[in-house]
Chains A and B, each alone.
Chain A
Amino acid sequence: MSIAPKAENPSLQSQRARVASDLRRVVATDSVLDEEESLRPYECDGLSAYRRLPLVVVLPDTVDQVQQVVRYCHDNDIPIVARGAGTGLSGGALPIEDGVVLSLAKFNKVISVDKDNRTAVVQPGVRNLAISETVSHLGLYYAPDPSSQIACTIGGNVAENAGGLHCLKYGLTVHNVLEIKIVTIEGDLVTIGSNALDSPGYDLLALMTGSEGLLGIIVEVTVKLLTKPDCAKVIMASFDDIEKAGNAVANIITAGIIPGGLEMMDNAAIRVTEDFVHAGYDVEAAAILLCELDGTPEEVDDEIERVKLVLEQSGYTQMQVAKDDNQRQLFWSGRKSAFPAVGRISPDYYCMDGTIPRKTLGSVMSKVDELSRQYDLRVVNVFHAGDGNLHPLILYDGNVEGELERTEELGGAILDLCIEVGGTITGEHGVGMEKIDHMCIQFDTLELSQFHAVKQAFDTKRLLNPDKAVPTLHRCAEFGAMHVHKGQLKFPDIERF
């Protein structure tokens, strides 16, 4: 269900001119983009197969401006799509034709750092990595580290409940944020959460985290910081068979070890990233596992021995411990750049984001391989193996007619597979526009109705990122008609259109 631009409705153009001129009363002239030429680069996020030209793009730089922009949109029934760095992979920041893209990119300051309480207050457009860089001299860091951390914003992280390489041990975004300030669709500034570990009443902060821009505009975030571990070491183990590597992951966890990070890459991924970072990966291996252990030096040494033993029993072919912190960083930096490094061997990729129970990793791998052959499309595999979060990257060429469609079918088949083995359709990249139809498979009518009720409570007019994340029941009905899951219609109780 990719989306490509269509010819524009002329009435949109007059609306565009009006909205732009109104918004220029609120923000600087050059902070409102309304020429098609300038709007195009905002037509997609990191999932560039989905494109839609927005009505206007607005780039405020004060919270007050955000409030005024939102109020204006609310009063005039104009949809709003918030945008951070636009690195999302599910089309969450995909614009809406008659809607405003509200960029938070100018909010890129760290407001304050509280060394004693180990917290930092940052603007939403601050890059994830910039937080850790800012507090590094204090021996602190911000734990969730999505592979895109160099570029993605903390606002986007909260909106997607982003995960990362070290989330297995240190939790997702939701576990590392204490308080946020949002602008509601009515334009009010509201604080959610508190500096304490728990706050009375419903846990609205957890609800907001992962809400994909549907419930409010995040304008400030207070994050928890952690003390850098005394010692961190990473093991790289090679396997001659991807299933063996998958089983090794399950074995490590079963042995009761919780590594700081546990990641897996298949041969194709190893080769493209080695090309970029020259980390010294074993380019002959069918798969490698990167396993990081951190803590006190004694703990680490002890766990390294335990992991080595498990790896041995799991049938590794080669093993190496990063010789120093530089090489450790390099090992991770390769893993973090794996998606875009794939651009070296393919003009386009489509990144899937399912999760599966860890014990099925090995068998799911083989099935994905089978599917790849069946659809005649290459698949590169990179995972947050430790938490069973798969990222099969389907390689395709957008210039070849029909390839994108075939890619999406294969993607759909992989997600079906995830659900079949008891997993979910998204681990961390969110539903956005991309996986919206799969929400119909994952959830039933009642569950979806509850999601809508939540949306309704925050945004009665449905103006915040309206067509994303939670499908309308109508949409599911239409989709259900096309997608008969295991021989059963998923929504037999909904009228079909």
Chain B
Amino acid sequence: MQTHLADFIRNTIEGREADAILRKCVHCGFCTATCPTYQLLGDELDGPRGRIYLMKQVLEGVTPTSTTQLHLDRCLSCRNCETTCPSGVQYGRLLDIGRVIVEQQVERTEVEKLKRKLLRLVIPYRNRFGPLLKIGQFFRPFLPKPLKQATPAARAAGVWPQADKHDRRMLVLNGCVQPAIAPDINSATARVLDQLGIGLTTANDGCCGALSYHLSAHDEALGFVRQNIDAWWPYIEQGVEAIVITASGCGVMVKDYGYLLRHDTDYAKKAATVSDLTKDISEVLYTEDLTKLKTKSNKKVAFQAPCSLQHGLKLSGKVEDILARLGFSLTTVPDTHLCCGSAGTYSILNPVISNQLKKRKLEALCSEQPDIIATANIGCLTHLESEATVPVVHWINLIAAMSHEK
């Protein structure tokens, strides 16, 4: 596509990157077809091609108003459009650049600012989010329905086997909300890997940075990134094989560390090493010999592929393959490519669209009456769980539970 970037951005790193992305877009419109918000709203401004155009205008020097901001806010960052785009347009990167500029040029209302600030102040910090959640869980039986739905029930952490009995070692990201909401995911991962002869340890890491990054607070995000790299580095020097991520949303972010810090002279190399070592838990299991795990289950499982897993990490089909190899029967789920509406903080900031997408997703997931829904990302898990009529778990918990039955 023809571009004429404005002086303020043309010769910056972001400007050059955005220009290259825009020029790749040939305006064919294929991407609109798989965009969840376009499907719901039917306005091109709520689809990728229109959003690209809106951002192009801003980059070409048109001062945006809250209209552009609204349509960019409504984007789920699900990156379904990237999977669909035959031309290889990196929409997600363009959006990261575009959103920051629009954020600088359009003043939000005080309420909106406060909401965003609160999210950034609470969620990424385990010591802030954890206690708040505990209070919520304590009062859960007395909460009104919407709040109750939004507050996940407490889960037991589960046993974490000793890591040092194995020669093979991996590190797992703790992250921010997952240890508070579902501490059983990482412990299940540790037990499954234990059976495969891999010891799993943790470091004193924190939020992966995705939350701040997607709220256009890039510097804040990079702060988290550097902290995590520092926390992991000693383990990397000791030779951990991989940094395992059990929330695909965080996986996308950590795999991007190398890219995000590519111009940081102190961190570029380390960040690249971290990204290289990063693996979603499905990537780990996919290449392991799974015969050591118990392989019979009569559970009918509906798998929900998070956008971060299929469109972000491009790992479509891996989890399904693993579960099938282990003897689970998987239901056929229509429209697997569509977002469930969780999308990080989206469910809080855009509840109406988010709920519509959740309803559609649950209908699709339940179309063949599964016993259980499995997912790969904590955000999707809590979002779906709030209204699902069957249990929703991380798929690794299915495997861990099965082995337990031995």
A interface residue numbers (CB < 8 A to B):
31, 33, 35, 37-38, 40-42, 44-46, 48-49, 59, 61, 85-87, 103, 105-106, 108, 125, 127, 129, 148, 150-152, 273, 275-276, 337-344, 347-349, 398-399
Taking the closest CB of chain B, its distance from the CB of A7, in whole angstroms, is 14
B85 contacts the other chain (CB 8 A): yes
Query: What chain A residues lie within 8 Å of B28 (beta carbons)?
Result: 46, 87, 148, 151, 339-340, 343
Binary per-residue interface labels of chain B (11-49) against chain A in the complex, 1 for a CB within 8 Å, 0 otherwise: 000000000000111111111111000110111110001
A-B contact pairs, 27 of them (CB 8 A): A37-B67, A41-B45, A42-B44, A44-B27, A48-B1, A48-B26, A85-B33, A105-B42, A106-B42, A148-B29, A150-B34, A151-B28, A151-B29, A151-B30, A151-B31, A151-B33, A337-B30, A337-B86, A338-B86, A339-B86, A340-B86, A347-B23, A348-B1, A348-B2, A399-B2, A399-B4, A399-B23
Known contacts A59-B42, A150-B84, A151-B30: A347-B1 contact under CB 8 Å: yes
Whether the Cβ atoms of A398 and B2 lie closer than 8 Å is: yes
Question: Chain A residues near B86 (CB, 8 Å)?
Answer: 273, 276, 337-341, 343
Is A41 a contact partner of B32 (Cβ separation < 8 A)?
no
Contacts A105-B44, A150-B33; is A348 near B26 (CB within 8 Å)?
A: yes
Q: In the bound complex, how far is the Cα of B33 from the Cα of A129, in angstroms?
A: 10
Which chain A residue shows the least CB distance to B86? Answer: A337
| Chain A neighbourhood of B24, CB < 8 A | 343-344, 347
Rounded to whole Å, the gap between the CB of B21 and the closest CB of chain A is: 11
A31, A35, A41 — which one has the most chain B CB atoms within 10 A of its CB?
Answer: A41
- In whole Å, how far is A316's beta carbon from the nearest beta carbon of chain B? 27
Inter-subunit contact A35/B89 (CB<8 Å): no
Closest Cβ neighbor of B22 among chain A residues: A347
- Choice from A37, A61, A342, A344 contacting B64 with Cβ under 8 Å: A37
CB of B336 closer than 8 Å to a CB of A: no
Partner of B57, one of A37, A59, A342: A37
B23 contacts across to A, CB distance below 8 A: 347, 399
If the complex has contacts A103-B42, A129-B33, are A276 and B67 also in contact, measured as CB distance less than 8 A? no
Number of B residues, CB within 8 Å of A: 39
A342 to B4, CA, bound (A): 21
B42 interface neighbour in A108, A152, A342, Cβ under 8 Å? A108
Q: In the assembled complex, how far is the CB of residue A262 from the closest CB belonging to chain B, in whole angstroms?
A: 22
Question: A41 near B87 (CB under 8 angstroms)?
Answer: no
10 nearest A-B pairs in the assembled complex, by CB-CB distance: A343-B87, A398-B2, A337-B86, A106-B42, A41-B53, A343-B26, A340-B28, A41-B50, A151-B33, A105-B42
Let me know if A339 and B65 touch, CB within 8 A: no
Asked if B3 is at the interface of the complex by the 8 Å CB criterion, the answer is: yes
Judge whether B68 is part of the interface by a CB distance below 8 angstroms.
yes
With the chains together, A337 CA to B28 CA distance in Å? 10
Known: A37-B67, A48-B1, A105-B38. 8 other contacts (CB 8 A): A38-B45, A40-B57, A45-B29, A46-B28, A129-B33, A151-B33, A152-B29, A341-B86
Q: Which of B1, B50, B54 contacts A398 (CB 8 A)?
A: B1
Given contacts A40-B57, A41-B50, A343-B25, contact A59 B33 (CB under 8 A): no
User: Which residue of chain B is the closest to A137 with respect to CB atoms?
Assistant: B334
CB pair A40 B53 closer than 8 Å = yes
Q: Are B29 and A87 in contact (CB under 8 A)?
A: yes
Q: CA A296 – CA B45 in complex, angstroms?
A: 46
What distance in Å separates the Cβ of B71 from its nearest Cβ neighbour in chain A? 8
- B316 shortest CB reach to chain A, Å: 13
Is B327 positioned at the interface, with any CB of A under 8 Å from its CB?
no
With a cutoff of 8 Å between Cβ atoms, the chain B residues found around residue A45 in the complex are: 29
Q: Which residues of B contact A105 (CB under 8 A)?
A: 38, 42-44
Contact of A35 among B27, B41, B67 (CB under 8 A): B67
Residues of A within 8 A of B38 (CB): 105
B234 at the interface (CB under 8 A from A): no
B348 at the interface (CB under 8 A from A): no
Q: Do residues A148 and B30 form an inter-chain contact, with CB atoms below 8 A?
A: yes
B62 at interface by CB-CB < 8 Å:
yes
B43 touches A59 (CB 8 A): yes
Q: How far is the CA of A85 from the CA of B43 in the complex (A)?
A: 10
Q: How far is the CA of A151 from the CA of B81 in the complex (A)?
A: 12
Residue of A nearest to B70 (CB): A30
CB distance from B358 to the nearest CB of A (A): 20
Contacts of B84 on A, CB cut-off 8 Å? 150
Hey, which chain B residues are within 8 Å of A41, CB to CB?
44-45, 49-50, 53-54
Which residues of chain A are within 8 angstroms of B4 by Cβ–Cβ distance? 399
Output the nearest chain A residue to B4 by Cβ-Cβ distance: A399
Complex: A105 Cα to B23 Cα, angstroms: 26
B26→A339 contact, CB < 8 A: yes
**A31 vs B46: C-alpha distance when bound (angstroms):** 12
A46-B44 CB under 8 A given contacts A37-B62, A40-B57, A343-B87: no
CB-CB under 8 A from B31, the residues of chain A are 151
- Contact between chains at B88 and A108 (CB < 8 Å): no
**Which chain A residues border B89 with CB–CB below 8 Å?**
343
B27 in contact with A46 (CB, 8 Å): yes
> A344, B87: Cβ atoms under 8 Å?
yes
CA distance in complex: A276, B32 (Å): 18
**Closest residue of chain B to A30, judged by CB?**
B43
- Chain A residue with minimal CB distance to B20? A347
Instruction: Report B315-348 residues with CB < 8 Å from chain A CB.
Output: none
The answer for the CA separation of A33 and B68 in the assembled complex, in Å, is: 12
CA distance A49 to B1 in the complex (A): 9
C-alpha spacing A470/B240, complex, angstroms: 70
Beta-carbon contact of B32 and A85 below 8 Å: yes
Q: Which residues of A contact B87 (CB under 8 A)?
A: 340-344
Name the CB-closest residue of A to B38: A105
- The residues of A that contact B65 with a CB separation of less than 8 Å are 35, 37
* Chain B residues whose CB sits within 8 angstroms of the CB of A341 once the complex forms: 86-87
Shortest C-beta distance, A68 to chain B (Å), equals: 18
User: Is there an interface contact between A61 and B42, defined as CB atoms closer than 8 Å?
Assistant: yes
**In the complex, how many angstroms separate the beta carbon of A430 from the nearest chain B beta carbon?**
16
Counting chain A CB atoms within 10 Å of each CB, which of B29, B39, B41, B57 scores highest?
B29
CB closest chain-A residue, reference B29: A87
| Nearest-Cβ distance from residue B291 to partner chain A, whole angstroms | 27
- Shortest beta-carbon distance from B53 to chain A in Å: 4
Closest to B89 in A: A343
Closest chain-B Cβ to A27's Cβ sits at a distance in Å of 12
Query: Which residues from B are CB-within-8-Å of A347?
Result: 1-2, 23-24, 26
- CB-defined contacts of A398 to chain B, threshold 8 Å: 1-3
Point out which of A45, A87, A343 has the most chain B C-beta atoms below 10 A from its C-beta.
A343
Asked if residues A48 and B88 are in contact (CB atoms below 8 Å), the reply is: no
**What is the CA–CA distance of A398 and B124 in the complex, to the nearest angstrom?**
44
* Distance in angstroms between the alpha carbons of A290 and B44 in the assembled complex: 34
**Residues in B whose Cβ lies below 8 Å from that of A38:** 45, 67
Hey, which chain A residues are within 8 Å of B25, CB to CB?
A: 343
* Cβ of A51 to closest chain B Cβ, rounded Å: 9
Q: Which residues of B sit under 8 angstroms from A44, Cβ to Cβ?
A: 27
Chain A residues near B3: list those with CB within 8 A: 398-399
Which residues of chain B have C-beta atoms less than 8 A from A106's C-beta? 41-42
Q: B26 — which chain A residues lie within 8 A by C-beta? A: 48, 339-340, 342-343, 347-349
